[in-house]
Each structure stands twice: as C-alpha cells, then as structure tokens.
Structure 1
Amino acid sequence: MEQQTIHSYLQKFFELNECELKGNDSGVLTVKLNEELDRLLLNRPFYWEYIKKIGQEGEPATLTFITNPDKREEKGEWIHFGSPRLHQIFQYQLKHGKFTMLYEQASQAALNPWLVANIKISYIGQQKKDEILSIGLHLISGVMVFDLMEKIKSIHFHTIIPDYCFTISPIIKIQSGYRRIEGYIRQYLDSMEHQWAEHSYNKFQQEKEILTHFYESYLQAADEEEQEQLTERYDNELDHLKKRLLPKIHIEPINGGLFYMSEETEKALRA
C-alpha cells in the first residue's frame, strides 16, 4: 500500500501541475514535465538560459518513475520513501501553494465538498521511516475516507467547475474539519505499538552509559580547567546522541484541498 500511495500521489501531483501523462500502468508512470518542473527536477539552468536567449520555447524532459517493486529493474527512476526525487517534490509542494480547490468533471451533478489532506509522518530514531496518509473528510456528513488519493486516481478534476454542475455548501468548516483529521492521526499513532521507539530509546541509554563512563574516568584525573572543557565536550556529544537516537514523530502537511465530488463518486469511495 505504501508504494501504491506514492504512485497515486505522483500521478495527482503531475496532473494538477498540468504535465502530460504519457504512460501510467502497473506502477510505472511516464510524464512529460512542464518548464517549471523541468527546472526543479533536472537542474539544467544553462539549457533554459540558452533557449530563452535564442528565442525558442524549449523542450521539457520526459521522465519515467517506477513505484512497483517488481519493475524496479526496468528503465526509469525507482521512487520510494527516502528517494531524493520524492523529497524534491515534497519540498516544492510545501513551498508553492499547499491548498487547492478542484471540481470533478461530472455531467449535470451536484458536487459535494471534501476536505483532502495529504500528511507525511516521519518516525525518527535509530532508523527513519516516512509514511503518507491521504485522508478525505466529507464536509457535510463528517464521513472520513482513507487512502483517498489512491481511490480517486481515475477521477478527472479541474480548477473550473463544469457546465450544468453546482456545489453544495459545507456544513463543517475547514478549520474544524482539519482538527478532526488531526484527531484521527493522533488515534492512529496511539494505536501503534512503536517498538521502533523502544529499540531506539534503549540504544540511546546504552550509548549514553558508555559515553558517561568514558568521560567520568577522565574527569577524575583532570584539573579544574580540563574538567570544564571535558564537561562541555560531554554535553555536546550527549546532545548529538539525543538528536540521533531519541525517538520522535514529526507530522508535516504536504498539501491539501477542497475537492468537490458527485454523489456517484462518493458511493464508490465508501464501497
């Protein structure tokens, strides 16, 4: 599910940034970038500077991203949590417009409001793991749907409401809805065993004990000035140990939006 979530996220990211999807099948996504994303992902400023100087349009690159582990040996770029490319995209999303408003391109339908939030959870300790939660909240009934980006990947959205459609006003305010999503995330984290955190904390205690024993043996034989220097070095190394090993969880919104969807689509989401 983790790799499927990444694939759905990438698909929607490129669609919303108006890039052409040239292929999308079984965990292999081929995308023709626009100029802005070409500049971001490929870092070839001299090409674009030259093209602009000679008055040409330029040709953005086409990239293939592989999220299916069974196809990672195929031609393309293997994408997973920890991939520099994926974090480039995360940072771009955090920097440029986190919130959007989109309308399903339905035909003659009432469109209901959904608050959609894509959240990155980082489990930080002896080892680090990232996870994306994609959550949708119906702003009328309060129904919550998980793995939403995966479930709506085949639905076409646009920033313009289609002809002969109209929107239903939310009953739940966006701020209140986001608090509900935050509440779910807390429950989700509380329900986990977090053995990784126990292992990381135990490793911290072991290394702290070794570090303390090492410095105490030197402190006993040191004069006052040397003791001050040793204490300062001990404190610095202990701080480094804490940053490296003490377990913590970091929650970071990637992006979100107000998605207006038809009742027909909603039934499929809840099935």
Structure 2
Amino acid sequence: MAINHLHAFLESYFSAHHCELLHDTNGVLTVQLTEEMDRALMNRPFYWHYIKKMGHPGDPKQLTLITDPEKRDGKHEWIHYGSPRVHQIISHLHTNEKYTKLFEHVDTDHKTALFPWLVTNIKISYQGKQKMDEMISIGLHLVNGIMKLEMMDELQHKTIKNTIPDYCYTISPMIKLHSGFKRIEKVLENYVLDQNHEWAEASRQTMEEEINLLRHFYKGETAEQDMKKEIDEIKKRYSPYITFKVINGGIFYLKDEAK
C-alpha cells in the first residue's frame, strides 16, 4: 500500500507542476521535466547559467523513477520513503508551496456551488533503531465533516485552477480550520495506534542492550559523568518516537458535495 501511495503522490506532484507523464505503469514513472522542475530537482545550476548566458532555451531532462523494488533495473532511479529524492521533493514542496487555495474548474452557464475541503499532505516519521517515513493525504469536507484518505488521488481526476470559474460561488465552511486540523490529527493518531509496533520494541531492546554493555564497560570506573553522557546519547539514538509533519495543504473548493 505504501508503494501505491508514493506512486500516486509522485503522479500528482509532477502533474501539478506541469510535467508531462511520458510513461506511467505500475511501479514505473517517466516524466518530462519543465525548466523550473529541472532546476529544482536535477542539480544542474552551471548548465542553466551557461545556457541562459548563451541565449538558448535549454533542454530539461526526463526523469524515470521506480517505486516498485521488484522492477529495479539498475539504469533508472529507485525511489522509496526515506530516499534522498523523496526528501528533495518534500523539501521543494515545503519551501515553495506549503499552503494554497484552489478551485475545481467547472464548465457551466448557471450558478454552481463549490464546497470547501481542507486537504493536507502529512509525513509520518517512525524514528528508532531504523527510520521510516510515510506520506498520508487526507481531505476533510468543511461543511459536513466527511473525511477521505488518499485525497491526492481524488484530486488527480479533477481540473484544478487558482481562480474561481465563472458562475461559481463558494460555500462558507461550517468547520473552523483549527477544529479541522484537530479532527485530522485524531484520525492520524488512531491510524498510528493500529500499526504493528514491533519496530519500537526492537529499538527499546537494542537500547537496553547497549546501556547494559556500557555499564559493564564502566564497572569499577569513577567516570560517572562520562557514562551518563554516553547513556544519554544511546537513549537519544534508540528511543522510539513518532512525529507528524504537515508538508503542504490548503483549501480546495470542489463541485460535488461528498456523499
């Protein structure tokens, strides 16, 4: 499921940045980058400096990403939660496009209501002996309170613009943003509680083993402060914890009231 979430996230990310999806099958995604996205992701500042100085338009690269580990071929980039490319994309979103307000494009000649959705993309980080990141996309209808997971998949099938269409009007939210975030936070907490937490127990076990080994090493020594400092470092390294981080989000005004 995590692989599918990542693939859908990448589809939405590149489509939203006007990159053509040249090849899109299960686990493999090839995109034609725009100049803006080439500059953001491909680390070619000297190329773009030179090409612009020469007065040429430049040639943005194509990028092939493999989200299914069984389809790794050694030629293209395998991308997964925690990989440098995912962190790069998340950093780009965090820096440039954290919050937004967008409208579904509706081709109509009569008054049409658009309903407000609070949409958030949230990174859940499981930190312990090992680290794992997971992206969750949630949408909350701010009038009737209905909530949808994988909201980016829902938006992928809609035409979204930054201006409200002709003949359309927006419905005022019944749920305040602060309350909406609290509802989403509660859903995420329940989601995390339902997960298998063997990773946390393994981290605690390793932490205790390391501390016991350290105490054995210091047995008979008088360097109490040195031992305490090293124990604190072990606890910091192995103590399991989970964090939520809002990567980006916004208010999306959509045509159909959720059912």
TM-score by length of 1: 0.86
The match for 1:10 is 10
Q: How far has the Cα of 1:18 moved from its partner?
A: 2.6
CA distance in 2, matches of 1:239, 1:60: 48
The match for 1:89 is 89
SS at match of 2:237: helix
SS at match of 1:263: coil
The match for 2:242 is 249
Instruction: Deviation per CA, 1:194-236: give whole Å up to 9, x if none.
Output: 222122112211110110111123x1xxxxxxx4xx3343233
Given that 1:107 and 1:165 are in contact with CA atoms closer than 8 Å, whether structure 2 keeps it comes out as no
CA distance in 2, matches of 1:231, 1:157: 62
Q: CA, structure 1 residues 21+158, in 2 after alignment: closer, same or farther (shift >3 Å)?
A: farther
Which runs of no fewer than 5 residues in structure 2 stay unpaired?
none
CA distance in 2, matches of 1:181, 1:35: 36
CA distance in 2, matches of 1:188, 1:124: 16
Query: Which residue among 122, 144, 147 is the counterpart of 1:141?
Result: 144
Given that 1:8 and 1:149 are in contact with CA atoms closer than 8 Å, whether structure 2 keeps it comes out as yes
Q: CA, structure 1 residues 32+123, in 2 after alignment: closer, same or farther (shift >3 Å)?
A: same
The match for 2:19 is 19
Q: Which one has a bigger Cα radius of gyration?
A: 1
Given that 2:139 and 2:147 are in contact with CA atoms closer than 8 Å, whether structure 1 keeps it comes out as yes
Query: Which residue among 212, 224, 237 is the counterpart of 1:231?
Result: 224
The match for 1:52 is 52
Q: How far has the Cα of 1:74 moved from its partner?
A: 7.9
Kindly report structure 1 stretches of 4+ aligned residues shifted beyond 6 Å.
none
Matched residue count: 256
Given that 1:5 and 1:149 are in contact with CA atoms closer than 8 Å, whether structure 2 keeps it comes out as no
The match for 1:127 is 130
Given that 1:119 and 1:132 are in contact with CA atoms closer than 8 Å, whether structure 2 keeps it comes out as yes
Instruction: Deviation per CA, 1:83-140: give whole Å up to 9, x if none.
Output: 2111100111112231112222233342211101111111111122211111110000
The match for 2:233 is 240
Given that 2:103 and 2:254 are in contact with CA atoms closer than 8 Å, whether structure 1 keeps it comes out as yes
Identity %: 48
Q: How far has the Cα of 1:22 moved from its partner?
A: 2.6
Q: How far has the Cα of 1:193 moved from its partner?
A: 4.6
Answering whether residue 168 of structure 2 is matched by residue 165 of structure 1, we say yes
Q: How far has the Cα of 1:59 moved from its partner?
A: 1.8
Q: How far has the Cα of 1:56 moved from its partner?
A: 1.9
CA distance in 2, matches of 1:22, 1:166: 36
Given that 2:207 and 2:234 are in contact with CA atoms closer than 8 Å, whether structure 1 keeps it comes out as yes
CA distance in 1, matches of 2:228, 2:34: 50
CA distance in 1, matches of 2:9, 2:90: 10
Q: How far has the Cα of 1:75 moved from its partner?
A: 5.2
TM-score by length of 2: 0.90
Report the structure, 1 or 2, having the larger helix content: 1
Amino acid paired to 2:249: G
CA distance in 1, matches of 2:229, 2:88: 31
The match for 2:36 is 36
SS at match of 2:85: helix
Amino acid paired to 1:187: N
The match for 1:214 is 217
Greater CA drift, 166-175 or 200-209: 166-175
The match for 1:222 is none
CA distance in 1, matches of 2:54, 2:70: 44
